[in-house]
């Protein structure tokens, strides 16, 4: 049973959309035809029956029952958005308390109870990697290089929310809401605009743009988080894009398997599978996020033939050591999500405290090679306004006649003969 009064009764995130979009999101209007509020996905219910599970413990922490806790809408309605709400379930560091009060007008905070439940103790010297990603901190107020739109996406958008950088593909930003507002998000500038979430005009114009450009064969549906919509709204969007003859593949960028796995139901996956080829890229950053709940979410997708890739971001204190990255990549393969990209963090404002040196990333990549299957090694990327640049440890030491002088994965010199003929 839903009981919004138990805790966080006034914690609903302030509406970002027009009244129409907010209505749609809240389950009226466009979403009416969708799943009922009390929909209880069996696969998550089973997990919650174990009292030691993250689901059962999270429900207890937030003083609700498991059946309510596995409803993704409940989490969106009970996002933790203030220091007072967060302090009900954990002790906040001073930097976090200040972050909540000083940054609210810059980049809203919002964290699902599920993701809050993954947080552990945190100190200045040993911060919790989950908290670093989701809770505002006073360090965000100082940044020497960060800017609002580091990829100049607005300049690359021929129509609003369609980023067209490469000739054959577009990023279609239909969503604004997210289960968790990641502190390093390079699209945080959109937070200040109202009415972007599944905005009918934006969607109509975007689809018209894609339909009128035969070169576009790959559409990435992103946001915000495009899974924060009803099954019916997602299917409606998919059907319209799939109806465009030149669109070959449809991809989703979503962090819901990480921050709100209950959203990724077998039912949603079965809808996506009707529009194959459909791919999903998600965004795990650290081993603590690889929970049994997340595994169910990923399995729901892959069991429906949807390949799942992972795009991590290298973040100081979160995953900036070899062992942390090794554990992440290994765990991803165990849940059948393939490590795809490791992004060096974008120079987005308020994130300098989270950005490690590129040397750190290069060293991690060098150590991964040879210590884990190549299938588990993501491509390390610096994303620029003109496209993604892969960066790698330099294994080519020189040329000698027809031979190439290489560094092998053990760090030894190797002469590969006759490859320069
Ligand atoms: S889920 Fe994605 S779009 Fe949303 S805040 Fe996080 S990084 Fe940004």
Contacts of 298 (CB under 8 A, 6+ apart): 257, 264, 282, 308, 335, 336, 337
Q: What is the pLDDT of residue 107?
A: 85
Strand 169-173 and strand 162-163: pairing? antiparallel
Q: What is the pLDDT of residue 37?
A: 59
Q: Are 179 and 213 in contact (CB under 8 A)?
A: no
Residues 198, 229: Cα–Cα separation, whole Å: 8
Residues 228, 145: Cα–Cα separation, whole Å: 32
Q: What is the pLDDT of residue 19?
A: 45
Atom of ligand 1 nearest to the CA of 187: 8
Q: What is the pLDDT of residue 39?
A: 74
Atom of ligand 1 nearest to the CA of 223: 3
Give domain limits for the chain.
Answer: 19-141, 162-390, 392-421
DSSP H or E segment with residue 114: helix 113-116
DSSP letter at 295 equals H
Q: Which residue has the tokens 């709940």?
A: 293
**Closest alpha carbon to 102 in 132, 131, 129, 140:** 140
Residues 364, 277: Cα–Cα separation, whole Å: 33
Q: Over its length of 421 residues, how does the chain's per-residue pLDDT go in tens digits?
A: 222 222 222 333 334 444 444 444 444 333 334 556 567 899 999 999 999 999 999 999 999 999 999 999 999 999 999 999 999 999 999 999 999 999 877 888 999 999 999 999 888 888 999 999 999 999 999 999 999 999 999 999 999 999 999 999 999 999 999 999 999 999 988 888 889 999 999 999 999 999 999 999 999 999 999 999 999 999 999 999 999 999 999 999 999 999 999 999 999 999 999 999 999 999 999 999 999 999 999 999 999 999 999 999 999 999 999 999 999 999 999 999 999 999 999 999 999 999 999 999 999 999 999 999 999 999 999 999 999 999 999 999 999 999 999 999 999 999 999 999 9
The protein residue with its alpha carbon nearest to ligand 1, atom 8, reads 185
Residues 119, 130: Cα–Cα separation, whole Å: 6
Query: Longest C-alpha distance within the chain, in Å?
Result: 76
Strand order in the sheet with 413-416: 396-400, 403-407, 413-416
Q: What is the pLDDT of residue 403?
A: 98
**Closest alpha carbon to 222 in 187, 171, 159:** 171
Question: Does pTM top 0.95 for this prediction?
Answer: no
Atom of ligand 1 nearest to the CA of 313: 7
Top CATH class, 162-390: alpha beta
Residues 55, 391: Cα–Cα separation, whole Å: 39
Q: How far is the CA of 292 from the centre of ligand 1 (A)?
A: 22
Q: How far is the CA of 133 from the centre of ligand 1 (A)?
A: 10
Contacts of 264 (CB under 8 A, 6+ apart): 227, 254, 256, 257, 296, 297, 298, 300, 301
Atom of ligand 1 nearest to the CA of 181: 5
Q: What is the pLDDT of residue 30?
A: 38
Pocket test for ligand 1, best of 107, 187, 252 (most atoms within 8 A of CB): 187
DSSP H or E segment with residue 77: helix 72-77
The total of other beta-carbon atoms located within 10 Å of residue 307's CB is: 16
């Amino acid at each position: 049973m839903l009981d919004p009064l138990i805790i966080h009764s006034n914690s609903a995130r302030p509406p970002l959309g027009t009244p129409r979009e907010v209505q749609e999101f809240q389950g009226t209007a466009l979403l009416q035809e969708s799943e009922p509020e009390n929909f209880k996905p069996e696969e998550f219910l089973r997990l919650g029956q174990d009292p030691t599970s993250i689901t059962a413990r999270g429900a207890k922490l937030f003083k609700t029952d498991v059946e309510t806790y596995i409803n993704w809408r409940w989490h969106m309605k009970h996002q933790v958005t203030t220091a007072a709400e967060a302090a009900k379930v954990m002790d906040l560091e001073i930097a976090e308390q200040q972050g909540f009060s000083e940054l609210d007008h810059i980049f809203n905070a919002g964290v699902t109870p599920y993701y809050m439940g993954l947080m552990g103790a945190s100190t200045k010297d040993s911060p919790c990697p989950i908290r670093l990603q989701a809770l505002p901190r006073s360090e965000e107020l100082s940044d020497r290089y960060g800017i609002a739109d580091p990829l100049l996406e607005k300049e690359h958008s021929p129509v609003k929310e369609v980023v067209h950088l490469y000739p054959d593909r577009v990023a279609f930003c239909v969503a604004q809401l997210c289960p968790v507002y990641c502190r390093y998000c390079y699209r945080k500038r959109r937070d200040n605009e109202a009415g972007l979430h599944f905005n009918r005009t934006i969607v109509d114009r975007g689809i018209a743009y894609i339909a009128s450009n035969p070169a576009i064969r790959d559409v990435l549906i992103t946001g915000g988080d495009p899974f924060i919509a009803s099954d019916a709204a997602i299917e409606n969007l998919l059907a319209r894009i799939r109806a465009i003859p030149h669109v070959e593949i449809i991809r989703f960028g979503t962090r819901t398997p990480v921050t709100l796995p209950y959203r990724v139901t077998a039912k949603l996956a079965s809808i996506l599978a009707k529009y194959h080829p459909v791919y999903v890229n998600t965004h795990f950053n650290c081993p603590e996020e690889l929970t049994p709940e997340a595994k169910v979410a990923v399995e729901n997708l892959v069991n429906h033939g949807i390949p799942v890739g992972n795009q991590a971001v290298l973040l100081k204190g979160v995953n900036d050591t070899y062992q942390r990255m090794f554990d992440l990549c290994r765990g991803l393969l165990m849940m059948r999500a393939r490590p795809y990209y490791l992004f060096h963090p974008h120079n987005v404002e308020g994130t300098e405290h989270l950005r490690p040196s590129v040397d750190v990333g290069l060293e991690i990549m060098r150590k991964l090679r040879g210590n884990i299957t190549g299938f588990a090694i993501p491509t390390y990327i610096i994303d620029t306004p003109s496209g993604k640049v892969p960066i790698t440890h330099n294994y080519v030491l020189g040329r000698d006649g027809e031979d190439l002088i290489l560094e092998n994965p053990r760090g030894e010199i190797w002469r590969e003969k006759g490859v320069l003929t």
